[in-house]
Structure 1
Amino acid sequence: MFELVKAWYVKKFSDPHSVTLLLMLVLTVALLYFFGSYVMPVLVAIVIAYLLEWPVNKLAQVLGNRLIAAIIVMAAFTGIALGLVLGIVPILWQQLSNLLQESPTMIEEGKDFLLHLPDNYPTLISTEQVQSLVSGVERKVLELGEMIVSISLTSLKDVAAWLIYLILVPLLVFFMLKDKNELTKGIAQLIPKDRKLIAQVWYEMDHQIMNYIRGKVFEIIIVGVVSYVTFSLLDLRYAALLGTLVGFSVLIPFIGAALVTIPVAAVALFQYGIAPEFWTILVAYSIIQALDGNVLVPLLFSEAVDLNPVYIIAAVLFFGGIWGFWGVFFAIPLASLVKALINAWSSKSESLLESMEP
């Protein structure tokens, strides 16, 4: 057993570049795991900087000055963000308030519908099964309500922190865009000289992360707008709120679409009952999800690493459990990073074995 471990170690880590890559990986993961909450504004700024790097780079090539390009892009981004917040958030808040006020009625109607199932389909479901299901749903609803209240009370203490973030994050983004080259050189000086594999993985992931963030933002906007327009045309209530939920559901591959189906179906059922309009909304929602998965995603993420859906779901569960929202958001790039690391070590091991052959 010891000889097997020794042979594996010699094969994978006999080269100093491999050891440096491993140490940098362990250090980065430990830093994010233990101090992630403290550097959260920096992480958010990095995400936004990746999103804005492409327009800044293109505009800098036209103007010949990166500082002016960064100022113009940041001003445009800030204006668009403020416009969206001031224009959309009040509508979403109003619809959410109305939905919460009507939720007790919706729950009662759903409960009544379930309790009448044994009368309509006595061979398929029994009264005891329905009562057990209703009790479980009521318990989950109470737990969800308690969790929402606790989160709301906790978030009140974080208002000052959010106000600080609203000032710090734009400043960090601006300086990251303006001084990209200087910051990159400074980080390079902190990395050991044996960094060939680090550079290989970095160049591969840098391009992929930029494409992923930009593509994911476009996907959220496109899916959200299309869902809102579709729900509005079908006269579904809370169209803006549901369209926003559908848009953000793409952050969690496969799982998000399944979860958002519940509120969409619940609102449609409450509004129309088991009627043709209800099935029309479900069919339209299914078409949107199918077009997103089979047309939009391949177009936006054509340069991303091809990953099996099993790996993507496993990455969402694993990284989401460690880092919460940001773990879910970066699940695909992190899974691609793991694949890139494996490829880098494998290629290094193969080249090492070839060099040892006579």
Structure 2
Amino acid sequence: MSLTRTQLLLIYLVLTAGIASGLALFTSASRITELLHVATTGIVLPVLLSLVLAFLLEPLVRRFERGPFNRTASIFLVSLLTAILVYLAGRWLSPHWLAMWGSLRTDLPRYLARGIELLNQFEVRLNEYFPFVSGLDLPGRGRVLAEHLFNEILSHTTGSALRLGSLMLLVPLFTFFFLRDGQKIIRFSVSLAPNRYYEMAHDLSYLISRQLSHFVRGRILEAVIVGIVVGFGLSFTDIRYAPLLGLFAGVTNLVPYLGPIVGMIPGILIALVDLGMGGQFWWILATYLLIGQIILDNFILIPILISHVSNLHPLWVIIAIIMGGKLYGVLGMIIGVPVASIIKIIIIEIRYYRRTFALPLASQDGELPG
């Protein structure tokens, strides 16, 4: 069947219009995404910290609410107790932590220079056995990364007071409203759903809320335990900055797969520079790998606290971490997994309701069944 010239022209115009429309939609979506990213950059961290605090404080608020206090009074009482504990802990710890942080900033160039030297030695050994990797230039790349890290630490330290002040103002305010009006916001959002999808929206809100609360509490508890165990294990050696290294290991442990590896690099580097590869170095390595990660995290904490919550394939976890890191850096890597888990819940629930409550074909055509 041959096409006439008019039909060919029509097909050409349709294809051209389709391609142009697709490019316009892609450009508009990219622009909108960029604007949303710029608009939410300064507000994402306070909102996420407030949500984390709301999930952590919710059980205490409910416990006080069962007594003679109403919801608002319970929130104020829990907030007051939390503020008092934070103030006492900060007043006790701040002199030691500030002195330790100042000493670490002084020693950081020496540790970075020694790390580059070790990379150079490793590259020489590697070239002896694998000559084809001679163009990697590990010392050069390590030097660039070290200089970038050092400059980032110095630049962020100068502006940290302003950011900390804004967080101290916004986080308690957002946390209060999340605790007081969170259920109202959820009920209002569910009520906007059409009657046909009301039950599905209600179930989705419950499942997502439960998933987030369990995930946040489990991950925070996991990070705290790992940080305490690593810091306690390092304190048996002569390594410097054991509390800071334990805190760093706990915070980086929030990022699945990549976090534990990043968390033990500073401790191993400091141990190599200050202690050498003696018995204490191997104890530090065992603390990070065997005690902190393999035994405690993989065999105890993750099966008990995390595995039944996220239930994601490792491939999807890695994809979520990479995409979250592209959007919001380290913060995005942390929240990528729960966001992916929520998307999975939504897809599963929609599929379940479509199968369970699908109407007969006759009913969809406007005829009564039977």
Verify same fold: TM over 0.5.
Answer: yes
Structure 1 counterpart of 2:317, which letter? I
Aligned to 2:271: 268
In the alignment, is the contact (CA less than 8 A) between 2:186 and 2:205 conserved in 1?
Answer: no
CA distance in 2, matches of 1:63, 1:197: 35
Cα 1:351/1:135, change in 2 over 3 Å: same
1:24-173 to 2 correspondence within 5 Å?
A: 33=37, 35-37=39-41, 39-40=43-44, 41-63=46-68, 65-113=70-118, 123-124=128-129, 129=134, 132-152=137-157, 155=159, 159=162, 162-173=164-175
Q: What secondary structure sits across from 2:277 in the alignment?
A: coil
Q: Residues 195-232 of structure 1: CA distance to partner in whole angstroms, max 9, x if unpaired? A: 43322221111001011111122112111111111110
Aligned to 2:321: 316
Q: Residues 39-82 of structure 1: CA distance to partner in whole angstroms, max 9, x if unpaired? A: 44444323311221111112212445333322221112212222
CA distance in 1, matches of 2:184, 2:52: 18
Structure 2 counterpart of 1:167, which letter? L
Shift in Å, 1:278: 0.9
CA distance in 2, matches of 1:314, 1:118: 31
In the alignment, is the contact (CA less than 8 A) between 1:117 and 1:125 conserved in 2?
Answer: no
Q: How many residues matched?
A: 326
Structure 2 counterpart of 1:56, which letter? V
Q: Residues 300-355 of structure 1: CA distance to partner in whole angstroms, max 9, x if unpaired? A: 23541411222112111112322334432322221111111221232233236574
Structure 2 counterpart of 1:228, which letter? G
Gaps in structure 2 of 5+ consecutive residues? 1-32, 363-368
Which segment is superposed worse, 174-183 or 314-323?
Answer: 174-183
Structure 2 counterpart of 1:341, which letter? I
Match of 1:235 among 214, 238, 252: 238
Aligned to 1:8: none
Identical pairs, percent: 26
Structure 2 counterpart of 1:37, which letter? T
Aligned to 1:177: 179
Match of 1:220 among 205, 223, 227: 223
CA distance in 1, matches of 2:138, 2:71: 61
2:335 matches 1:330: yes
CA distance in 1, matches of 2:39, 2:329: 14
CA distance in 1, matches of 2:94, 2:336: 27
1:13-28 to 2 correspondence within 5 Å?
A: none
Gaps in structure 1 of 5+ consecutive residues? 1-28
Q: Residues 92-120 of structure 1: CA distance to partner in whole angstroms, max 9, x if unpaired? A: 33323222322333344445555556888
Structure 2 counterpart of 1:334, which letter? V
Aligned to 1:286: 289
CA distance in 1, matches of 2:209, 2:228: 29
Cα 1:122/1:79, change in 2 over 3 Å: same
Structure 1 counterpart of 2:233, which letter? T
Q: What secondary structure sits across from 2:235 in the alignment?
A: helix
Report the TM-score when normalising by structure 2: 0.76
Larger Rg: 2
Match of 2:211 among 195, 208, 212: 208
Shift in Å, 1:274: 1.8
- C-alpha RMSD of the superposition: 3.3
CA distance in 1, matches of 2:218, 2:267: 25
Structure 2 counterpart of 1:250, which letter? N
